[in-house]
A and B are shown apart, each in its own frame.
Chain A
Amino acid sequence: MQGLTLSQIQLRLIASIFERGAEAASRALTQWLGRTVHLKISDVDQADITEVAGLLGPEDATVAVCAMSFAGQLEGQLLLVFSDAVGLSLVDLLLQQKPGTSTQWSELERSGACETANIVGCAYLNALSVHLPGNSATDTLIPSPPEFRHEFAASLLEFAVMEQASVMDRVLLVKSRFQAEGADLDWALLFVPTPDSLRTLAQIAP
């Protein structure tokens, strides 16, 4: 099952829609963290399922992830992913603690990460729903509460693309990277549509 392959023009158009989501998420995150953070769309990737495992770096690296599903005109998974060190630094920043204070993912640290994911995810999805062509003012993308996990990067990616992989051999995911005051943050926001939503995106960008 080769599934749906989008043209470069379609991918660029989809990326431009997702840029609006990234801009909104950047503003929300800047307000939340109290420092300028810029979220930029790095890739709208279409990859064979056999190539997915390495898209977040070393396959067996352990990453922290806050996962949300979303429903509405588009459905799928939204995942905020960071390395342990970077995620714990985020928590220190949120709690206004000295860097290095948080050393493990206890309930407080997980809660801080999930709240960040909630803010980023809602801003991102709200902006997407506004800028999706054909959407009415009442159409929204509704996220589930974030769920925190520690996972192998490749296992996480397998989970994320599983629904697409169940009906096609090539999968699409949108990967956004974060920059804070000029420096790249080792975070990623992954948007992975369901197969039906991928078809919807293809129709939006014919």
Chain B
Amino acid sequence: MPQSSNANLAPPELFVPMGKWAVAQAPTLIRTLLGSCVGVVLYDRNAKVGGVAHIVLPDSRGDTALPGKYADTAIPAMIADIDRQTGRRSMARLTATIAGGASMFQTSTPSLNIGKQNNEAVERILNQLGIQIVGRDLGGDAGRRLTLDTNSGNVSIRIPGGPDHEI
């Protein structure tokens, strides 16, 4: 039986810039490019809905201007968006994958080396919310391209010049 002409269409893609998050349902690829920032992926396998946040700093300290910038505001905001997409409270079904936090250049000043603080803040918040972290790809000195396939829940990482690998 011939396949529909739609079968070969590439899934739509969303790009997540620094300090933002995006949530979508299958079939969508959500992508971001990371350096020392941390990417947080949340995924509801039953609903095939997921999100990616591109987090810059660990703590908002009450700043509300750009909630996607901080771990303590981006993660709850993304969960609320996932709840809106699924029409129910999703937190108990969510799994998390985190990546990024590189120290990219030796020329970086110590104050730039905040990848570790970001990683720790994200892990602490996810633990407090009871969300299981099923994959990590953290640290190192290279940027990462992170892609969430909302159809499968697979998260793939590419470093410059390398192939995609799943985590």
Q: Is the interface of B mostly helix, strand, loop or mixed?
A: loop
**At the interface, yes or no: B41 with Cβ under 8 Å from chain A?**
no
How far apart sit A60 and B157, CA to CA, in the bound complex (Å)? 12
* Chain A min CB distance to B101 (Å): 12
Report yes or no: B109 in contact with A163, Cβ–Cβ below 8 A. yes
How far apart sit A52 and B34, CA to CA, in the bound complex (Å)? 12
How far apart sit A114 and B17, CA to CA, in the bound complex (Å)? 30
**At the interface, yes or no: B65 with Cβ under 8 Å from chain A?**
yes
Report yes or no: B56 in contact with A151, Cβ–Cβ below 8 A. no
Q: Is the interface of A mostly helix, strand, loop or mixed?
A: mixed
Report yes or no: B105 in contact with A159, Cβ–Cβ below 8 A. yes
How far apart sit A91 and B31, CA to CA, in the bound complex (Å)? 34
With contacts A52-B17, A159-B104 known, is A152 near B160, CB below 8 A? yes
Considering only residues 136-155 of chain A, those with a C-beta below 8 Å from chain B are 144, 147, 149-155
Q: Which of A18-26, A31-39, A62-70 contacts B (4 or more CB under 8 A)?
A: A62-70
How far apart sit A83 and B60, CA to CA, in the bound complex (Å)? 36
Which residues of chain A are within 8 angstroms of B107 by Cβ–Cβ distance?
Answer: 67-69, 77, 144, 147
Beta-carbon contacts of B106-147 to A below 8 Å, as 1s and 0s? 111101101000000000000000000000000000111100
**At the interface, yes or no: A92 with Cβ under 8 Å from chain B?**
no
**At the interface, yes or no: B167 with Cβ under 8 Å from chain A?**
no
Report yes or no: A60 in contact with B66, Cβ–Cβ below 8 A. no
Beta-carbon contacts of B68-86 to A below 8 Å, as 1s and 0s? 1100000000000000000
Considering only residues 28-44 of chain B, those with a C-beta below 8 Å from chain A are 31, 33-37
Beta-carbon contacts of A157-171 to B below 8 Å, as 1s and 0s? 011001101100100
* Chain B min CB distance to A50 (Å): 5
Which residues of chain A are within 8 angstroms of B114 by Cβ–Cβ distance?
Answer: 162, 166
How far apart sit A95 and B19, CA to CA, in the bound complex (Å)? 43
Report yes or no: A158 in contact with B35, Cβ–Cβ below 8 A. yes
With contacts A1-B63, A49-B69 known, is A166 near B56, CB below 8 A? yes
Report yes or no: A169 in contact with B35, Cβ–Cβ below 8 A. no
Report yes or no: B160 in contact with A151, Cβ–Cβ below 8 A. yes
Report yes or no: A169 in contact with B17, Cβ–Cβ below 8 A. no
Considering only residues 49-87 of chain A, those with a C-beta below 8 Å from chain B are 49-53, 59-60, 62, 67-69, 77
Report yes or no: A67 in contact with B105, Cβ–Cβ below 8 A. yes
* Chain A min CB distance to B115 (Å): 10
A-B pairs with lowest CB-CB distance, top 10: A155-B143, A154-B33, A69-B107, A158-B35, A155-B35, A159-B35, A50-B17, A152-B143, A159-B104, A150-B160
Q: A-contacting residues of B (Cβ < 8 Å)? A: 15, 17-20, 31, 33-37, 56-57, 63, 65-66, 68-69, 102, 104-109, 111-112, 114, 142-145, 160-161
Q: B-contacting residues of A (Cβ < 8 Å)? A: 1-2, 49-53, 59-60, 62, 67-69, 77, 144, 147, 149-156, 158-159, 162-163, 165-166, 169, 194
